[in-house]
Amino acid sequence: MYGTSERLLRLLSLLQTRRDWPGPDLAGRLGVDVRTVRRDVERLRGLGYPVHATPGVAGGYRLGAGAALPPLLLDDDEAVAVAVGLRTAANGTVSGIEETSVRALAKLEQVLPARLRHRVSALQSATLALGSGGPVVAAEVLTVIAAACRDHERLRFTYGTHTGEVAERSVEPLRMVHTGRRWYLVAYDLNREDWRTFRLDRVDGVPVPGFRFTPREPPAADLAAYVSRAISAAPYAHQVVLRVSVPAAELAERVPPTVGVVEPVDEHSCRFRTGAHELDGMPFYLAQLEYEFVVEQAPPGLVERLARVAERFSRAAAGSRP
């Protein structure tokens, strides 16, 4: 059983973890009855936390937005993640929030315990940012889309494709994925009646939230791999599948998710999927893998190109020997 103060902190922490909480679920988590939950909610309201209640069978409690920002509860790992994220944002990876990130970081580090300040400082001193050179996405775009993913709200936005086509899109957002250089949104496109991946730097303006929707079955269990496949192989005219004689984890360290998809086969080999618009440069790219591989799937002409390049390099190596 929690004491009153501990229980209030625990209740506040639970309310911050998801959008809606039925009263009986909160009571079960806290080990009290529903009446005690109601009294504790009133105590939180008295402290300035805007806890909204919805009556009825499907009702419950929700931590809403108030006139002032109340204190947030963060565990150690969350506090370190926020501090590191603010430092990263201050370096300009998200436009428009560099200065505010610095101010927020100063406030956070002022109250961080010494052990956590040491962890953040160690990460900072061991990291050198050269700049990714990728396109910048406005912070407001990211926050609006993130809220729509969380709250299951439809989005409308103007989107420009890689071919230059511009059109209005109406989608049911599922999740945002960051590849290290770009932000992507996985969403169900209502006009095309299928799942799509959208580059967020191609969204014109701030998306407009709409009606809430019932979430659909995701297109894949591993959304990161889904996005990687969508941006590294699917958009290209030529698809290539290799079986590489190296563990999947080792190849994944060398191949960014924007370049190809790595799938484990067994403890000694993996499958690598990638794509290209032109085949002439593919042999030279594959040579950079520095691992033995066999071609499982390739467009016509690729294997012949591999053979010609191999013969050319063999002749060059033979003629260069002393």
pLDDT tens digits along 230-255: 777 666 778 889 999 999 989 988 88
Which band of pLDDT confidence, cut at 50, 70 and 90, is reported for residue 202? very high
296 φ/ψ sector (left φ>0, alpha ψ -120 to 50, else beta) = alpha
pLDDT tens digits along 93-111: 666 776 677 677 777 776 7
Of 89-93, 104-108, 174-178, least confident by mean pLDDT is 89-93
* 181-198 mean pLDDT: 90
* 113-126 mean pLDDT: 77
pLDDT value for 35:
92
Is residue 322's pLDDT more than 90? no
DSSP H stretches of helix in the chain: 4-15, 23-30, 34-46, 76-88, 98-111, 114-125, 139-151, 223-232, 248-254, 282-287, 302-319
108-117: which pairs have CB atoms within 8 A and are 24 or more residues apart?
108/79, 108/82, 108/83, 109/83, 112/79, 112/83, 115/76, 116/76, 116/79, 116/80, 116/83
Is residue 123's pLDDT more than 90? no
Which band of pLDDT confidence, cut at 50, 70 and 90, is reported for residue 41? very high
pLDDT value for 67:
54
pLDDT value for 146:
86
Is residue 208's pLDDT more than 90? yes
Is residue 315's pLDDT more than 60? yes
Of 136 and 315, the structure prediction assigns the larger pLDDT to 315
Residue 133 backbone phi and psi in degrees, to 5: 75, 5
pTM above 0.75, yes or no: no
Is residue 321's pLDDT more than 80? no
Q: What is the mean pLDDT of the chain?
A: 83
pLDDT value for 150:
86
Of 319 and 98, the structure prediction assigns the larger pLDDT to 319
Percent of the chain's residues with pLDDT above 90: 26
Is residue 39's pLDDT more than 90? yes
Based on its alpha-carbon atoms, the radius of gyration of the chain, rounded to whole angstroms, reads 26
pLDDT value for 93:
62
**How far apart are alpha carbons 225 and 260 in whole angstroms?**
9
DSSP H stretches of helix in 154-272: 223-232, 248-254
Of 92 and 25, the structure prediction assigns the larger pLDDT to 25
pLDDT tens digits along 256-296: 877 888 889 999 999 998 888 788 888 888 888 888 899 88
Is residue 298's pLDDT more than 80? yes
Is residue 10's pLDDT more than 60? yes
